[in-house]
């Protein structure tokens, strides 16, 4: 099984777009996003649209207060 893993996108839709182009060429069986996708000053709406337009499993992080 081929798995592509994304993380720490931080709203950078331009970089995400290029990474997704490369991922599509490699034809993985699964794409997993480890989070930190939209937080940041760049392009959160466009980043969200890119992620939602593909079959990407997004995992939400969990904050633990100690």
Residue 66 lies in a domain: no
How far is 11 from 48, CA to CA, in rounded Å?
A: 8
Residue 64 lies in a domain: no
Strand partners, 22: none
Entry pTM = 0.85
CB 15 within 8 A of CB 43: no
Residue 48 lies in a domain: yes
Residue 22 lies in a domain: yes
Q: Is the pLDDT of residue 64 over 80?
A: no
**Predicted pLDDT of residue 45:** 95
Q: For 4-63, what is each residue's pLDDT tens digit?
A: 999 999 999 999 999 999 999 999 999 999 999 998 889 999 999 999 999 999 998 666
Count: domains in the chain: 1
**Predicted pLDDT of residue 41:** 84
Helix (H, G, I), strand (E, B) or coil at 5: strand
- 36: region left, alpha or beta (phi > 0 left; psi from -120 to 50 alpha): left
Q: Is the pLDDT of residue 66 over 90?
A: no
Residue 32 lies in a domain: yes
Structural domain including 49 reads 3-58
Residue 63 lies in a domain: no
């Amino acid at each position: 099984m081929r798995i592509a893993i994304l993380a720490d996108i931080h709203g950078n839709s331009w970089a995400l777009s290029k990474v997704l182009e490369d991922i599509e060429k490699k034809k993985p069986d699964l794409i997993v996003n480890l989070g930190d996708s939209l937080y940041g000053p760049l392009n959160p709406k466009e980043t969200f649209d890119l992620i939602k337009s593909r079959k990407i499993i997004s995992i939400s992080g969990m904050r633990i207060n100690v």
